């Protein structure tokens, strides 16, 4: 029997790449995108309209489509979460609770997106361990930490198979990210291709863990395909790939796009970046379910620039 897969947040940065890959693997008719707003006019697939916070919407969608798997991506990110903390709490926490409550009714396999934002200023910042101090100081981080504990609670109490990754900053060309602290690492490529000056909102020494989208999608599918017994962490797995300073990023992008002009003008997002890890120890993910990344900074830069050039030539 084929899987029936619900994706929440299907038109966000990760959903935009994940949905077509799920459609390719499982068939277009078996992937249901839960749209709330900003639904692309050219979306090609099964669309359901609803709000992840609304238990009636979710009960109807789970039942009408006989859902067997959920990728719950809908979330407000870190920077926007500081502008709208109440909304971030509402969407991030109540949305997750509604999904988990619906999932336990028919034992649906759940993927939930956590983040490096669960860490905070008291966490060791280099090779941040899987298990360490978790004292986030952003609303986004608070919701991700509480969400991790909620996922583990549903696993322990109800036996729900819920799996999760702490995503680093994700770099991709299809959908631009919105409202995150790591967005500068995507924006620089857009500016390079459009020959526009890039004003970087963190300082040049800022180092954060990052990952190219193809690796993020690979890891997401890999953890969902792993055998039940392989998943030993039921909060969320550290998921690492590459780390670089903003200046190292600038230098590599300029190597391939020599006209790039960069100015550093740190804003309120600097304070968020300063509380996050510079790199993470993801050996648990590598040992438990075989995670490995493929893209380094150079390889990612070549693909990003090529793809964005194609995108803007159309
Ligand atoms: C953000 O910057 O808020 C996100 C994240 C690291 O979770 N990209």
> Across all residues in the chain, what is the average pLDDT?
97
Token pair for 42: 């050219």
Please give the pLDDT value at position 300.
98
Sign of CA dihedral 230, 112, 115, 148: negative
C-alpha 141 – ligand 1 centre gap (Å): 9
Strands (DSSP E) contained in 128-201 are: 162-167, 169-171, 198-200
C-alpha 142 – ligand 1 centre gap (Å): 13
Atom of ligand 1 nearest to the CA of 177: 8
Domain with CATH 3.40.50.720 in the chain: 5-169+211-238
Atom of ligand 1 nearest to the CA of 115: 7
Residue whose CA lies nearest to ligand 1 atom number 1 = 180
Q: Which helix (H) or strand (E) holds 244?
A: strand 242-245
Q: How confident is the model at residue 177 (pLDDT cuts 50, 70, 90)?
A: confident
Domain with CATH 3.90.25 in the chain: 171-209+242-277+295-311
- CATH 3.90.25 for domain 171-209+242-277+295-311: yes
Q: How confident is the model at residue 314 (pLDDT cuts 50, 70, 90)?
A: low
Average of per-residue pLDDT across 2-8: 96
- 3-state DSSP assignment of residue 4: coil
Quickly count: other Cβ atoms within 10 Å of residue 226's Cβ: 16
Please give the pLDDT value at position 294.
98
Average of per-residue pLDDT across 187-206: 97
How far apart, in whole angstroms, are the C-alpha atoms of residue 78 and residue 140? 5
- pTM value is 0.97
Pocket test for ligand 1, best of 117, 119, 143 (most atoms within 8 A of CB): 117
How far apart, in whole angstroms, are the C-alpha atoms of residue 157 and residue 159? 6
Sign of CA dihedral 240, 244, 250, 251: negative
Average of per-residue pLDDT across 37-60: 94
C-alpha 105 – ligand 1 centre gap (Å): 31
Atom of ligand 1 nearest to the CA of 77: 3
**37 has a pLDDT exceeding 90:** no
Angle made by CA atoms 290, 296, 302, in degrees to the nearest 5: 130
C-alpha 166 – ligand 1 centre gap (Å): 10
Contact assessment for residue 248 and residue 95, using Cβ atoms and an 8 Å cutoff = no
Please give the pLDDT value at position 36.
81
Average of per-residue pLDDT across 217-243: 98
Catalytic residue among 140, 189, 237, 295: 140
Query: Residue written as tokens 């903003």?
Result: 246
**Which residue ranges have their beta carbon within 6 Å of ligand 1?**
77-78, 115-117, 140, 167, 169, 180-182
**158 is a catalytic site residue:** no
Distances from the Cα of 81 to the Cα of 29, 144, 181, angstroms: 34, 11, 10
Average of per-residue pLDDT across 154-168: 98
pLDDT in tens, 285-296: 999 999 999 999
Pocket test for ligand 1, best of 80, 171, 175, 182 (most atoms within 8 A of CB): 182
Question: How many DSSP H helices and E strands does the chain contain?
Answer: 12, 12
pLDDT in tens, 52-94: 999 999 999 999 999 999 999 999 999 999 999 999 999 999 9
**CATH number corresponding to 5-169+211-238:** 3.40.50.720
C-alpha 255 – ligand 1 centre gap (Å): 26
Please give the pLDDT value at position 176.
86
Please give the pLDDT value at position 128.
98
Pocket test for ligand 1, best of 119, 142, 169 (most atoms within 8 A of CB): 169
Please give the pLDDT value at position 313.
86
Residue whose CA lies nearest to ligand 1 atom number 8 = 169
Please give the pLDDT value at position 19.
98
C-alpha 139 – ligand 1 centre gap (Å): 12
Atom of ligand 1 nearest to the CA of 181: 2
């Amino acid at each position: 029997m084929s899987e029936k897969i619900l994706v929440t947040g299907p038109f966000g940065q990760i959903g935009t790449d994940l949905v077509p890959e799920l459609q390719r693997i499982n068939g277009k008719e078996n992937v249901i995108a839960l749209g709330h707003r900003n639904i692309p006019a050219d979306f090609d697939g099964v669309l359901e309209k609803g709000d992840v916070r609304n238990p009636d919407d979710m009960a109807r969608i789970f039942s009408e489509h006989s859902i067997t798997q959920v990728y719950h991506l809908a979330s407000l990110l870190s920077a926007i979460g500081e502008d709208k903390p109440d909304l971030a709490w509402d969407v991030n926490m109540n949305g997750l609770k509604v999904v988990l409550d619906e999932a336990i009714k028919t034992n649906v396999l759940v993927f939930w997106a956590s983040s490096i934002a669960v860490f905070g200023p008291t966490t060791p910042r280099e090779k941040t361990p899987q298990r360490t101090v978790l004292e986030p100081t952003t609303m986004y981080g608070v919701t991700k930490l509480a969400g991790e504990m909620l996922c583990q609670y549903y696993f322990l109490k109800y036996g729900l198979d819920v799996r999760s990754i702490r995503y680093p900053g994700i770099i991709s060309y299809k959908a631009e990210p919105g409202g995150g602290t790591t967005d500068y690492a995507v924006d620089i490529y857009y500016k390079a291709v459009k020959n526009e000056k890039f004003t970087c909102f963190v300082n040049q020494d800022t180092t954060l863990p990052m990952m190219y989208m193809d690796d993020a999608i690979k890891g997401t599918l890999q953890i969902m395909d792993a055998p039940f017994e392989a998943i030993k962490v039921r909060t969320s797995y550290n998921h690492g790939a590459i780390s670089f300073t903003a200046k190292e990023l600038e230098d590599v992008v300029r190597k391939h796009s020599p006209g790039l002009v960069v100015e550093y003008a740190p804003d309120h997002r600097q304070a968020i970046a300063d509380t996050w890890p510079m790199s993470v120890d993801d050996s648990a993910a590598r040992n438990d379910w075989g995670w490995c990344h493929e893209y380094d900074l150079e390889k990612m830069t070549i693909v990003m620039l090529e793809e964005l050039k194609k995108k803007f030539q159309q």
